[in-house]
């Protein structure tokens, strides 16, 4: 979960339950460290320290402070004579998870729209696991202004476009669940296969829940009319935009973090609205930049369904009824 007052502490499962805690190219670049031989100098045995004292332009680390961690990663603030850095580590997972996060952060950063922490380095720890070093952002005392958040988010969606289709250069994670981002030319196919379909299969595998799988697959096959009249372009999405991943900096400007980025229909960004606290001023400001599409209200629950299913797969049966209710409501609407 996010640790307010500091940059978010992990790519944590996106649960609302605290205890569960010019168009730009779609290709982003960041620094990926290679595993160092164990026999080299002692400083290289700590690749985080090595990067900070070389490419990070610091000559001295003045303090290292733990700032908590979520269910997945540990987080630390490194204070130096060149400023502060935010570092996340995971002792059991290789660098691919952080690579996906860094690619997403960098893609959002390059839109020059909404503030995100700039990623600097991803690599492997010699003792096992991985790390990511990024810009440290000092948070303000309260969450960002809703209108500013809506406007800035829409500006990111407008600036971040893909000519390749819907998807992303790498698979990443939504919480700790793998998120498949295979490039697909058709949005409805992408959302049906790589979002709803993947979660439905996972529910069947984990819980033997054939009922939700069968009804969900019926919805996937029938859902195309929900998009009639909508113009759908592949926009850069944060992908996991809930309250724990939204804050503001010391100037009161909105900050978003811990992404699960991909290029998709802009409306899919609101799938976590049930625990993001978006109000009327947020949507009003957003639609001033990107106008509302026909059928927006009818699709809202369809985009929530992906996240309800993910919560079901991550946290158990408490989210099953919400998922099933959405599926059944749509089947009643779409069945002749």
Active-site residues, by number, are: 240
Q: How far apart are CA 77 and CA 83, in angstroms?
A: 10
Please give the Cα distance from 288 to 148 (Å, whole number).
12
Q: Report the alpha-carbon distance of residue 81 to residue 84 in Å, rounded.
A: 8
Specify the 3-state DSSP secondary structure of 188: helix
Q: How far is CA 197 from CA 88, 190, 230, 309, in A?
A: 31, 9, 22, 10
For helices 210-222 and 198-207, the axis angle rounded to 10 degrees is: 170
What residues contact 155, with CB distance under 8 A and at least 6 apart?
Answer: 111, 113, 114, 289
Q: Do 330 and 217 contact (CB within 8 A), yes or no?
A: no
Spell out a b/e string for 160-190, using b for 16 or more CB atoms within 10 Å of the CB, else e: bbbebebbbbbbbbbbbbebebebbeebbeb
Query: From CA 304, how far away is CA 219, in angstroms rounded?
Result: 14
Alpha helix ranges (H) inside the chain:
47-52, 96-110, 146-159, 187-190, 198-207, 210-222, 280-289, 296-315, 320-334
Q: How far is CA 278 from the centre of its chain?
A: 17
Please name which of 312, 326, 319 lies closest in space to residue 201, comparing C-alpha atoms. 312
Which CA distances in Å does 240 have to 97, 155, 217, 260, 261? 15, 17, 23, 6, 8
């Amino acid at each position: 979960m996010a640790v307010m007052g500091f940059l978010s502490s992990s790519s944590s499962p996106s649960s609302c339950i605290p205890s569960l805690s010019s168009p730009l190219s779609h290709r982003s670049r960041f620094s990926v460290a290679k595993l160092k031989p164990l026999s080299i100098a002692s400083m290289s045995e700590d690749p985080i320290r090595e990067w900070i004292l070389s490419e990070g332009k610091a000559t001295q680390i003045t303090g290292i402070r733990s700032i908590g961690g979520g269910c997945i990663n540990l987080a630390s603030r490194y204070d130096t004579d060149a400023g502060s850095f935010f570092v996340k580590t995971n002792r059991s997972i290789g660098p691919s998870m952080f690579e996906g996060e860094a690619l997403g952060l960098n893609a959002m950063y390059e839109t020059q729209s909404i503030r995100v922490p700039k990623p600097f380095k991803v690599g492997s720890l010699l003792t096992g696991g991985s790390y990511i070093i990024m810009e440290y952002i000092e948070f303000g005392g309260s969450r960002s202004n809703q209108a500013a958040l809506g406007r800035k988010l829409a500006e990111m969606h407008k600036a971040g476009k893909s000519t390749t289709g819907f998807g992303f250069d790498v698979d990443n994670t939504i919480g700790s669940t793998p998120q498949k981002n295979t490039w697909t030319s058709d949005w409805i196919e992408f959302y049906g296969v790589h979002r709803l379909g993947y979660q439905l299969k996972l529910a069947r595998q984990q819980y033997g829940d054939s009922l939700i799988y069968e009804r969900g697959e019926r919805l996937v096959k029938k859902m195309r009319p929900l998009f009639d009249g909508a113009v759908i372009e592949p926009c850069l999405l944060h992908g996991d935009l809930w309250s724990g991943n939204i804050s503001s900096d010391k100037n009161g400007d909105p900050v978003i973090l811990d992404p699960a980025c991909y290029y998709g229909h802009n409306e899919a960004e609101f799938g976590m609205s049930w625990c993001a606290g978006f109000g009327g001023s947020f949507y009003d400001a957003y639609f001033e930049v990107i106008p509302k599409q026909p059928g927006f209200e009818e699709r809202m629950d369809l985009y929530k369904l992906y996240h309800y299913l993910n919560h079901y797969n991550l946290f158990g049966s408490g989210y099953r009824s919400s998922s099933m209710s959405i599926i059944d409501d749509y089947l009643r609407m779409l069945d002749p």
